Amino acid sequence: MHFTLSPELTEYAANLREWGSTVARGYARQADTEHALPPDTDKILDSAPVPLGREEFPRDALPDVPDGPGPRAVIWFESIAYSDMWLMESLNRGVGHFVVKAIGTPEQVERWWDPVIAKGGKTGFGMSEPGAGSDTSRIATTATRDGDTWVIKGSKMFCSLGAVADYIVVFARISKDGGKSAIKAFVVERGHPGLTVVKANENKLGLRCWMTSQLAFDDCVIPVGNMLGWSGDDTDLTTTGGLNAGLSGLNDNRPNVSSQSIGVARASLELTTALLREQRQSFAPHRWSVIEDELVRMAWTLDRARQLNLRAQWMNDRAMNNRAEASIAKGFGPLNADRVIRRCMQLLGPEGTTTDLLLEKWYRDIKILDIFEGTGQVMRLLISRHLMGRDAAGS
């Protein structure tokens, strides 16, 4: 059993963090204030001394390290978020095309996946609605068949990249019955008639440069072939990949979300440690020694989360069933991470929460990580079902 990373991955991550915390982090405040990525994002990204993994640039591929893609992802997500979450968002092409890849027909993949990989477009993901969060069965947006078309009607919120994406994968219900299995995924391209951007970017607590849009589908007519997985035969409708299939590809991302929280908390802890050390003489000796203990305790807390993340991804690389372990990783990391940042601000005192430092931003950014892709409560539900069967935690 080993708990070290390869020298290659260690060096890659060190270089990434070095550049990320000096160069990229310099744009963090601006991204927050302007609720948008920096205008010269591409130039900033090009200045990175290591590849960042942008699919459209073959030479930007992440290094092929002996650790495997899973642990590499853990370290990559942690290091990117360590720089600042805006960097994460700048590399976020969206997830719509992953859904296409997961449940689309070969023709659909060719049409909507390949170009994104080749040319680097962005894709949107429309699932949440004002009345439907964790309970996806409550999706109320409808798709009604009309000859060779589907007519989409409804509202979406939290639609990531909704206002700028080349297309949006939107989930809608094709019948009132059938629960989740009646919810299917449809591709709606940008500017398509009937699709209105109600709000390009929602006003959020944090992660403000992450564009989440509110969209209205007002009798939006799309070709029948835009239903993902539809092979031209309507008798397939019940088996056509829908909500669950569309989401399954996202489950693997849970340890990565946790890694992001650990990256942000680690940045906070390192910054705080450096600032406190400069001010050491200002602390009473007893208090200083307490603080040194606290910093170590926080570092161990983050490290425990990191190991859980690595485990989940290491298992994934081996095609081991890691559903419980992925949930554990996501349930554990974010909950500890915001607590670490809060404690860092407390230790720094009144100046710790001003906009002169990034901790206040990170404390805002990080909160969503215990919510999206499954709240901490949903993670506990999944873990307890793993322990106690499918009826567990139903109430």
- Rounded Cα gap, residues 77 and 81, in angstroms: 6
- Least distance in Å: CB of 327 to a second copy? 20
CA distance linking residue 76 with residue 90, whole number of Å: 14
Q: Is 5 left (phi over 0), alpha (psi -120 to 50) or beta?
A: beta
- For the residues of 294-331, what is the DSSP string, one character each? HHHHHHHHHHHHHHHHHHHHHHHHTT---HHHHHHHHH
Distance (Å, rounded) from C-alpha 364 to C-alpha 366? 6
What is the nearest approach in angstroms of a second copy to the Cβ of residue 395? Answer: 5
CB 362 within 8 A of CB 370: no
Out of 134, 231, 238, 239, name the contact with other proteins by CB under 8 A.
Answer: 134
Site for a second copy in 189-208 (CB under 8 A): none
Distance of alpha carbon 172 from its chain centroid, rounded?
A: 22
Q: Residue 251 in contact with residue 378, Cβ under 8 Å?
A: no
Contact range with other proteins by CB under 8 A, out of 104-112, 146-154, 233-241, 364-372: 364-372
Stretch that binds other proteins, among 96-104, 246-254, 257-265, 291-299 (CB under 8 A): 291-299
CB 188 within 8 A of CB 133: no
Identify which range of 1-9, 112-120, 164-172, 186-194 contacts other proteins by CB under 8 A: 1-9
Among 44-52, 100-108, 199-207, 283-291, the segment contacting a second copy (CB under 8 A): 283-291
Tokens describing residue 219: 């009798």
Tell me which stretch binds other proteins (CB under 8 A): 61-69, 90-98, 140-148, 228-236: 61-69
The C-alpha atoms of residue 366 and residue 36 are separated, in whole angstroms, by: 17
Interaction between residue 289 and a second copy (CB under 8 A): yes
Distance CA 59, CA 50 (A): 10
Q: Which amino acid is at 228?
A: L
Q: How far is the CB of 229 from other proteins (least distance, A)?
A: 26
**Looking only at residues 15 through 54 of this chain, which bind other proteins when binding is defined by CB under 8 A?**
none
Residues 293-322 that bind other proteins (CB under 8 A): 293-294, 296-298, 300-301, 303-305, 307-308, 310-311, 314-315
Pick what 321 binds: a second copy, other proteins, none; C-beta below 5 to 8 Å, kind-dependent: none
Count of residues interacting with other proteins (CB under 8 A): 99
Which of the choices other proteins, a second copy, none does residue 294 contact, using the CB cut-off of 5 to 8 A by kind? other proteins
Q: Does 391 bind a second copy (CB under 8 A)?
A: no
Q: Which of 160, 258, 264, 261 is nearest to 209 (CA)?
A: 160
Distances (CA, A) of 327 to 163, 238, 378: 31, 29, 9
Among 21, 105, 128, 268, binds other proteins (CB under 8 A): 128
Of residues 91 and 393, the one with the C-beta less far from a second copy: 393
Residue in 61, 117, 118, 290 binding other proteins, rule: CB under 8 A: 290
State which of positions 211-270 bind other proteins (CB under 8 A). Answer: none
Instruction: Quickly count: other Cβ atoms within 10 Å of residue 49's Cβ.
Output: 9
- Does 320 bind a second copy (CB under 8 A)? Our answer is no
Tell me if 154 sits within 8 A of 140, measured CB to CB: yes
Of residues 139-178, which lie at the interface with other proteins (CB under 8 A)?
A: 157-158
- In the complex with other proteins, the residue whose CB is nearer, 144 or 375, is 375
Give residues in contact with a second copy (CB under 8 A). 286, 289-290, 293, 394-395
